[in-house]
């Protein structure tokens, strides 16, 4: 009986991995251009790190287990908690701000759906120690810059501020968390139940109207009126943030007071970016300002971050018809006859040592079948090693895109192969 892959996971073939690696490379390059430096953290952490951050209820969404020493461990569901732990233990003495990014697999025990899996690759970026306005704007600019660099043009950026609701909901933090979670999930039966428990039934229509406010600066005025003047400082902050983003060349953002991101550690600006071509599951990333350093026993420090799911970005690019750059094999070496095998291996080694990607038949096929194979794997050039050419110190090179064939010296082939390839 054949084995099946675990539910909520994926296998990726060579072509798809090439596209994914291309996207990862673009994300890393874009982050580097913004002054972010890459770090890595463990794939598993103490379970307590995540329960301290998100509460004990998060355990049901994690791959949590006891290791052989009886310690409570969890596979990371995201990077932020690990980054802040690392910052407090090793990075806080670096010059401020600390701007870091990470790429790796994360794990969540949740119901799989299109573009959302139990194991997936995430790109994460964090700014720690920058003034809130400057740090928030930089993080949003990087997120949009990443999508633009990949070639995704149709993006909608929605910005809110969790501080407005926190100031309005004058209840203990644990009760705030349940109300905000219900608002984030649009779980109105749960919202009704929580407000009734708190004796705040009269707030339900206000909160439901509030989270539907979306548009330009006018929605901030409406929001302030609904909250009875509460959160005025946060509303003004969003106006300043939009003004700063314009200096980055980001003109079109939507104020969306329904961006709640109902996690306990978000405290300020929150944002989400959508790719409308993806339909109902259009959100490709989210992030915001948070406070975790104090929760983990450190000194207060402004923190802002975001995370992309790599699958969502690849889907958004494909939905817009973006041709992702994928590497091609430069040369496929074809010996013309068994006697030319040693010479073909010499050519193969020379190409590889010169930094040219090259491969050669391992199955003993004839020249015709080798050319078919070279075309099937999308090699750029077929390098035909024949007796006559070898005596002249040359090889026959067939451009598999144009079909043109010519004889050339190996050093000339190396120079051509090092040139730009067609996508």
Q: How many Å apart are CA 187 and CA 257, to the nearest integer? A: 16
331-417 CATH fold? Rossmann fold (3.40.50)
Q: Do 14-319 and 331-417 have matching folds?
A: no
Q: How many Å apart are CA 131 and CA 125, to the nearest integer? A: 16
Quote the pLDDT of residue 263. Answer: 60
Q: Which residue has the higher pLDDT, 39 or 251?
A: 39
Identify the band that residue 419 occupies on the pLDDT scale cut at 50, 70 and 90: confident
CB-count burial class (<10 Å; 0-12, 13-18, 19+) for 34: middle
Position 231 pLDDT exceeds 70: no
Mean pLDDT within 220-239: 82
> What pTM did the predictor assign?
0.88
Nearest one of 134, 155, 131 to 143, comparing CA atoms: 155
What string of DSSP letters covers 276-335?
GGGTTS-EEEEEEEE--TTTTTS----EEEEEEEHHHHHHHHHHTT---------EEEEE
Helices (H), 116-272: 132-150, 162-168, 173-184, 188-197, 204-210, 218-226, 232-247
The top-level CATH class assigned to 14-319 is alpha beta
Look at the block and give the residue holding tokens 């009875």.
228
Q: What is the pLDDT of residues 300-325, one digit of tens each?
A: 899 999 999 999 899 899 889 998 88
Look at the block and give the residue holding tokens 């451009």.
399
Q: What is the pLDDT of residues 254-297, one digit of tens each?
A: 999 888 765 667 788 999 999 888 877 788 888 999 888 888 88
Check if the beta carbon of residue 348 is closer than 8 Å to that of residue 413: no
Tokens of 412: 């000339």
Position 365 pLDDT exceeds 80: yes
* Residue ranges per structural domain of the chain: 14-319, 331-417
């Amino acid at each position: 009986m054949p084995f099946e892959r675990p539910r909520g996971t994926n296998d990726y073939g060579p072509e798809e991995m090439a596209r994914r690696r291309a996207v990862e490379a673009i994300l890393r390059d874009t982050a580097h251009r913004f002054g972010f430096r890459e770090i890595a953290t463990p794939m598993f952490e103490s379970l307590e790190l995540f329960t301290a951050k998100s509460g004990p209820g998060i355990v049901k969404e994690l791959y949590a287990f006891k290791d052989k020493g009886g310690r409570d461990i969890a596979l990371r569901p995201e990077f932020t908690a690990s980054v802040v732990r690392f910052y407090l233990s090793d990075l806080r003495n670096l010059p401020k701000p600390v701007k870091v990014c990470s790429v790796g697999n994360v794990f969540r025990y949740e119901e799989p759906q299109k573009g959302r899996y139990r194991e997936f690759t995430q790109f994460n970026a964090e700014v720690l120690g920058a003034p809130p306005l400057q740090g928030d704007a930089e993080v949003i600019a990087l997120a949009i810059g990443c999508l633009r660099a990949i070639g995704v043009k149709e993006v909608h950026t929605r910005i809110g501020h969790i501080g407005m609701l926190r100031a309005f909901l004058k209840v203990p933090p644990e009760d705030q968390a349940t109300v905000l979670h219900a608002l984030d999930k649009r779980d109105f039966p749960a919202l009704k139940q929580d407000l009734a428990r708190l004796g705040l039934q009269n707030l339900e229509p206000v909160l439901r109207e509030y989270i539907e406010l979306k548009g330009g600066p006018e929605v901030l005025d409406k929001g302030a009126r609904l909250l009875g003047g509460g959160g005025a400082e946060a509303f003004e902050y969003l106006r300043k943030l939009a003004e700063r983003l314009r200096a980055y060349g980001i003109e079109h953002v939507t104020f969306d007071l329904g961006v709640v991101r109902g996690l306990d550690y978000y405290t300020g600006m929150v944002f989400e970016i959508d790719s409308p071509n993806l339909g109902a599951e259009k959100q490709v990333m989210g992030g915001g300002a948070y406070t975790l350093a104090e929760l983990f026993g450190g000194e207060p420090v402004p923190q802002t971050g975001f995370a992309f799911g790599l699958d969502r970005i690849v889907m958004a690019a494909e939905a817009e018809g973006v041709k992702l750059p994928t590497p091609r094999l430069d040369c496929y070496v074809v010996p013309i006859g068994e006697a030319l095998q040693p010479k073909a291996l010499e050519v193969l080694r020379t190409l590889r040592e010169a930094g040219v990607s090259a491969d050669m038949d391992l199955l003993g096929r004839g020249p015709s079948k080798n050319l078919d194979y070279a075309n099937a794997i999308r090699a750029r050039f077929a390098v035909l090693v024949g007796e006559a050419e070898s005596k002249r110190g040359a090889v026959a090179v067939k451009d598999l895109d144009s079909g043109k064939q010519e004889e050339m010296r190996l050093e000339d082939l190396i120079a051509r192969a090092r040139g730009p390839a067609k996508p």
